[in-house]
Structure 1
Amino acid sequence: MTWIKSFLLFILAGICEIGGGYLIWQWLKNDKPFWWGIAGGIVLVLYGVVATWQTADFGRVYAAYGGIFIIMALIWAWNVDGFKPDKWDVIGALIAVIGACIIIYMPRK
């Protein structure tokens, strides 16, 4: 699998994971209709499916997702909730994504 395809799968999975969690959050914390929670649950199931499309081992894939999702969560919060990340958010996210890329993309023997 090329690293571009792998990275795009990480992005798709991140959108599903964060989007599904966001819908459930809105339903339970902000009094959105019940169907928001149902939609969130469906999207979270899709996240679990998309993750299986990666070719690396489960543990390595999920460790890498963690780093990539940190950046995606900050981008989501900035664009959807109006949260503005500060320099420490950005520095921490960059460290996490560098670590995630090392975990998933470095050659193995």
Structure 2
Amino acid sequence: MSFIKVITVFVLAGFCEIGGCYLIWLWLKEDKPFWYGLFGSTILVLYGVVATFQSNNFARTYAAYGGIFIIMSFLWAYKFDNFKPDKFDIIGALIVFLGISIIYFAKRH
């Protein structure tokens, strides 16, 4: 699977998971209408489906996705919650990206 396709699937999965969780968060923590939670739950189910589009095995897919989730969480919070990452957040995210690359793309055998 090409690098672009792998990253695209990971990013789509990230939007589904983070977006779904964010809608549920808004519903429960910020008194948004029930349909926020319902729509968020539906999007979370889609996350579970989208991740299966990866060609690697479950362990490597979800381990690498965990790193994508960390990076996307920072970006989401920056965009929607006025979170300002500091240099340690950025350094950590870069280390995570290196780890993702090794886990998912290293040549084996």
TM-score, with length taken from structure 1: 0.97
Counterpart in the other structure of 1:106: 106
Give unpaired runs (5+ residues) of structure 1.
none
User: How far does residue 68 in structure 1 lie from its aligned partner after superposition?
Assistant: 1.1
Counterpart Cα distance in 2 of 1:12 and 1:55: 15
Show CA shifts across 1:35-74 (max 9, x none). 0000000000000000000000001100000111111100
Identity of counterpart residues, as a percentage?
A: 61
How many matched pairs? 109
Counterpart Cα distance in 2 of 1:105 and 1:21: 28
The AA in structure 1 aligned to 2:63 is A
Counterpart in the other structure of 1:80: 80
The AA in structure 2 aligned to 1:19 is G
Counterpart in the other structure of 2:63: 63
The AA in structure 2 aligned to 1:23 is L
User: How far does residue 108 in structure 1 lie from its aligned partner after superposition?
Assistant: 1.4
SS at match of 2:108: coil
User: How far does residue 30 in structure 1 lie from its aligned partner after superposition?
Assistant: 0.6
User: How far does residue 99 in structure 1 lie from its aligned partner after superposition?
Assistant: 0.3
TM-score, with length taken from structure 2: 0.97
Give unpaired runs (5+ residues) of structure 2.
none
Counterpart in the other structure of 1:91: 91
The AA in structure 2 aligned to 1:49 is V
Counterpart Cα distance in 1 of 2:90 and 2:107: 27
User: How far does residue 3 in structure 1 lie from its aligned partner after superposition?
Assistant: 1.4
Counterpart Cα distance in 2 of 1:24 and 1:96: 26
SS at match of 1:83: coil
| Displacement over 2 Å in runs of 4+ | none
Q: What's the C-alpha RMSD, in Å, of the aligned pairs?
A: 0.6
